[in-house]
Amino acid sequence: MVDVSDKVDTARTAIAQSLVELTPAIVAAITDDNLPKGDLYATARIAGIQAAKKCSDLIPLCHPLPLSKITVDIELQGNSLVITALCKTTGKTGVEMEALTAASVAALTVYDMCKGLDKGMIIRETKLLEKSGGKSGDWSAQ
């Protein structure tokens, strides 16, 4: 694990996103609130939040962080669900991995909740959108 003990604590934020491409049958079930496993949005949101909190247990050499804020927003856009995760902390290392993990696990949860209707979903474009804080400063995807 990288030694961050000499680094100063700074406010840090990261936003990541995953896209889940859906089939027409799944879009219809989501729109009609008719998924057999229940509330897709609440379940995926909670899964993403839990994943961000457990990031250091899942990613080798990732520092455990005291997260001060985690949000997971899910929006149906056409035939895709856009999952956006935001993580914040004040600490010595960034929260990019926590945000990416939250978005990824929320997308996997969507797949799990919908696979009984159609397994043809595709999880795409898990990426960091932006980060702020720390020695390297702010960064934003093009």
Give catalytic residue positions.
Answer: 112
CB-count burial class (<10 Å; 0-12, 13-18, 19+) for 32:
exposed
Six token digits for residue 98: 């926590």
CA 9, CA 79: separation in Å to the nearest integer?
A: 41
